[in-house]
A and B are shown apart, each in its own frame.
Chain A
Amino acid sequence: MMEIRIIHFYPDLMNLYGSHANVKVLRRYLENMGCTVTVQRLSPGEKEPLISGEGEPDFVFMGAGTERSARAAMEDLARFDTSLKSWARDGIAMLFAGTAMELLGREIREPDGSVYPGIGLAEFVTEHQERGMTGDVYGYTELYPQAMVGFMNKSGLIRGVESPLLTRLKLGWGNEREGGPEGFHQGNVFASELTGPILVKNPRLLETVAAAVLTRRGVRLPDPLPRDTLGWEAYAVTEEQLRLRISEKAP
């Protein structure tokens, strides 16, 4: 039986908008495919026996937090800076959802003028605004044909993303502007400011991430991949509602 190890960074500090559901749904999906999954919940300052003792994880996750929580998270995450970069190079799957995405970049600028560095896994820069950017999102990724859905709830404009996760938006806020590209994707590193359980809301993305995890471990994927049935049914409702919304708004 394949053993899969997940590191969940800061599950209490970075857990706005139902972020924790991403780990739940991925875990169940992998378990349904016959894997034994262990999730290590890592809090700031905590030792990390799983990584130091037994080598690399299979999946790394961090969810959304407030701007101040993200800054506190970054203070701790800095000690993983080398590990995270080498994991990314090694093709370990990661998902940084919500504000966590900002920490992958080079730096984060606050409205008061203060600046703090991110991990620097990518070159983008986040500029927090006084006003929040919120609203439903509907767009497309180059990974698969189905539309991505979700909700944007952020204050950061992210500039300099070269390889976005969503390349085309028909509704809502992207990295730098409304309707612009959103998120970040490079190798097996997935990031999106789309809040909430992005893997629950987008079962196709769940399948993609799970496939990335398993392929790296040399597992031959079943064809077709198993489906999270309820997830797909819920997705169908949201996808339709948003599509109707877009056609209503169109001139």
Chain B
Amino acid sequence: MKKFFAVILCKMLHFMGKLTGRGSSLPGKAALGICRDILGRIELPERIIAVTGSNGKTSTVEMIAAVLKARGIKVVWNEEGANQIEGIVTLALSHASLGGRVKGEVLLMEVDERYAAEIFEYLCPTQLVVTNLCRDQLTRNRHPEKVYEDILSAVHPQTELILNADDPLSSCLARGRGKVKWFGVEKCSVSADHPTGAYHDGAYCPVCKGPMEYDYVNYNHIGSYRCPRCGHARPTPDYLGADVDLEAGYLTTGSGVRIRLSLRSIYHGYNVLTAWAVCCNAGIPEEAAASVLSCYRLKSGRVQPFTLGSHRGMLLTSKHENSIAYDTNLRYIASSERDCVVLIIVDAVSRKYFTCETSWLWDIDFDQLNQLHVKKIILSGRYCKDLAECFSFTDLHNWSVQPDICRAVAGIRTRGSEDVYAVTCFSDRDKLLAHVERH
């Protein structure tokens, strides 16, 4: 009976929430209030795919869903992005019959890595995908090794793992397990010989803490590693990105299937490969999955065009407290060729909680902006002085500070016509969008 009420309540609140545009976690929260173990009491689809990790979850899940749908498979997935337990409950119950049977062939969930234990307590994924483990929201997550331990303790023995062979940390989840499939990218045009970035989380082996060796890295510590002391090394990928050619804009798999990339970044390349691996693993023919993924344009895309006077602008939504998300966008700007102005805004560190913590700024490789076509950099928002202190240690000199976002934008509008790149977080992006012409 509790189950019945939980389902009804969740459905009603979800329906009302849709009308009023409210968040997708409230209905689940109410249902959990009635029945804490509701996820364990409902009848779930046979295949349950959970995707977790630090970066790329949302994009990967969206692309998997697109492929499954294109193949006529009924997939229930958290399109609204709520990835904590309340959101997962909302997702499952809003797609359930009154008897509690989730109507779909596949349940596909983006799972917040911190809530994995709570979610998997009542629900056992058939597949768990871990995109990577990097520094992300350390004010809540403490550090990547802690996140690793949290996921490790949450994984059911019967769950098949689909892991990133190129990540020395999350690959450790496979230790002592049989059911593991690997995806990974070979050395490609953007690979470096050594770990890159402002810090070197891959410098030491996560198993024995001995110094690691790399054949190549594709970004930060993601690449082909080997620990001479304990033998922890990159496994051979089952799903291989044999060639990622960002100039030509495609990814060729180990089996020779070619996927066109809508975004020419290595990070996107990994997400596409991950989605392809998961779909192939679910029995979808390689070519069929590739044809949906080819040129697939993300709806959850973090790139938003705008106009600012005579400037063409592009908002590159990043994530505060996540240096790789910033590095991704800075790398994108560096690889563009037209003259540009870059506006970086750090105003509220988080939209969900209060903190003045800005030490993550020191993990960002701002020197990537040291390019001839980057004409000017403007630092704005409440914590612009923290940003400026970081910039004062770079080789860059063409930066200035304007705490007031409105004035910073107005200053760009009145001068020149270069491209504008705005880099900021979800929490701050509306503060920019309020002052530009949106498309």
The answer to whether A and B interact is: yes
Specify the chain B residue showing the minimal Cβ separation from A155: B142
Chain A residues with Cβ below 8 Å from B386 are: 234, 237-238
Q: A12 at the A/B interface (Cβ < 8 Å)?
A: yes
Chain A residues with Cβ below 8 Å from B382 are: 237, 241
| Contact indicator A28/B393 (Cβ below 8 Å) | yes
B341-373 interface bits toward A, Cβ cutoff 8 Å, 1 = contact, 0 = none: 000000000000011111111110000000000
| Contact indicator A234/B383 (Cβ below 8 Å) | yes
Given known contacts A195-B359, A196-B362, A245-B354, A12 and B200 CB-to-CB distance under 8 angstroms:
yes
Q: A187 at the A/B interface (Cβ < 8 Å)?
A: no
Specify the chain A residue showing the minimal Cβ separation from B208: A72
| Contact indicator A18/B363 (Cβ below 8 Å) | yes
Specify the chain B residue showing the minimal Cβ separation from A131: B142
Cβ distance A222 to chain B, nearest Cβ, rounded Å: 21
Counting chain B residues whose Cβ lies within 8 A of the other chain, the interface size class is 35 or more
| Contact indicator A24/B203 (Cβ below 8 Å) | no
| Contact indicator B385/A237 (Cβ below 8 Å) | yes
- In the assembled complex, the Cα of A12 lies from the Cα of B200 at a distance in Å of 6
CB interface residues, A 194-251, toward B, < 8 Å: 195-197, 200-201, 228, 230-231, 233-234, 237-238, 241-242, 245
Chain A residues with Cβ below 8 Å from B145 are: 66-69
| Contact indicator A69/B209 (Cβ below 8 Å) | yes
Cβ distance A26 to chain B, nearest Cβ, rounded Å: 12
Chain A interface residue count, Cβ-Cβ cutoff 8 angstroms:
42
Q: A175 at the A/B interface (Cβ < 8 Å)?
A: no
Q: A160 at the A/B interface (Cβ < 8 Å)?
A: no
CB interface residues, A 161-211, toward B, < 8 Å: 195-197, 200-201
Q: B121 at the A/B interface (Cβ < 8 Å)?
A: no
Specify the chain B residue showing the minimal Cβ separation from A67: B145
Q: B143 at the A/B interface (Cβ < 8 Å)?
A: yes
| Contact indicator B199/A72 (Cβ below 8 Å) | no
A1-29 interface bits toward B, Cβ cutoff 8 Å, 1 = contact, 0 = none: 00000000000110111101100110010
Cβ distance B210 to chain A, nearest Cβ, rounded Å: 9
Q: Which 6 A-B pairs have the closest CB atoms?
A: A196-B359, A18-B362, A72-B209, A18-B359, A234-B385, A12-B203
19 sampled A-B residue pairs with Cβ under 8 A: A12-B199, A15-B199, A17-B138, A25-B393, A67-B145, A68-B145, A69-B204, A71-B209, A153-B139, A196-B362, A197-B359, A200-B362, A230-B392, A234-B358, A234-B389, A237-B383, A237-B386, A238-B358, A241-B382
Extra A-B contacts (18), CB below 8 Å, given A28-B393, A234-B358, A237-B382: A16-B143, A17-B359, A18-B360, A20-B362, A21-B393, A25-B393, A66-B144, A68-B209, A69-B204, A136-B357, A149-B356, A197-B359, A230-B385, A231-B389, A234-B385, A238-B356, A238-B358, A241-B382
